[in-house]
Amino acid sequence: MSYLLHIDASSLGEASVSRQVAGSFRAAWQGPVVHRDLAASPVPHLSAAGITARMTDPAQHTPEQAAAARIQDELIAEFLRADAYLFTVPMYNLTMPSVFKAWLDQIMIEGRTLGFTQGAPTAGRPAVVISARGGGYGPGAPNEGRDHLIPTLETVLGWSHTLGLDVTSVIPELTMAPAVPAMAELVPLYEKSLATAHEQARQLAAILDRRAAELVGQVR
């Protein structure tokens, strides 16, 4: 079965702006969805057992290696079966939530998902990253150049030597403006950014829905 894989990394639940914008995407998406909420059910961080299991004959696995391999196998199978991807990854302390990094570390394995030697099996599949942040990090903003999340994700998810996805980012900014008095004058910019993000999410859902269907048709 083909589906949209939605990986959610926000810790704020319904209060998360990233999740709210993702909700607009999901409302416009027509196909089936598999949703993995890493805040509610985090995957373990990569361990020595998880690393060595990749280089050891399964028949020779220790109990710890076997357990680690089962987690990786489940996550990788779920990732590879998807035709499109939605990643809800807010900025925490200038970069990604640790739960999302843990998920990446579990699935990124040469010969299975990475494209260093033979090309990524997911190359060209469409993906959307939704990433809210409390301030502004775009050109001309005081925090310009300090976004260590979107450039990293677009490389990790989209580089041909890694997962090779066709990544589009949706970035609602200034989300702290309504709550921080010193940012009060930025509330109109926040509201505009949020409205734009919701509209982008809805439009991208329709586009990705069509693209995913086309990819499935090509495979058939």
Annotated binding site for FMN: 10, 16-18, 91-94
Q: Tell the residue number behind the tokens 């301030």, with chain if given.
A: 135
Q: Tell the residue number behind the tokens 């998406």, with chain if given.
A: 29
Binding-site residues from annotation: 10, 16-18, 91-94
Dist. CA 113–CA 103, nearest whole Å: 13
DSSP-derived letter for residue 43 is P
Length of the chain as a residue count: 220
Sheet containing strand 33-37, strands side by side: 33-37, 4-8, 84-88, 126-130, 166-170
Distance of CA 145 to the CA centre of its chain: 21
> How distant, in Å, are the alpha carbons of 81, 108, 113, 119 from that of 116?
20, 11, 9, 6
Dist. CA 128–CA 11, nearest whole Å: 19
Provide the 3-class DSSP secondary structure of residue 162.
Answer: coil
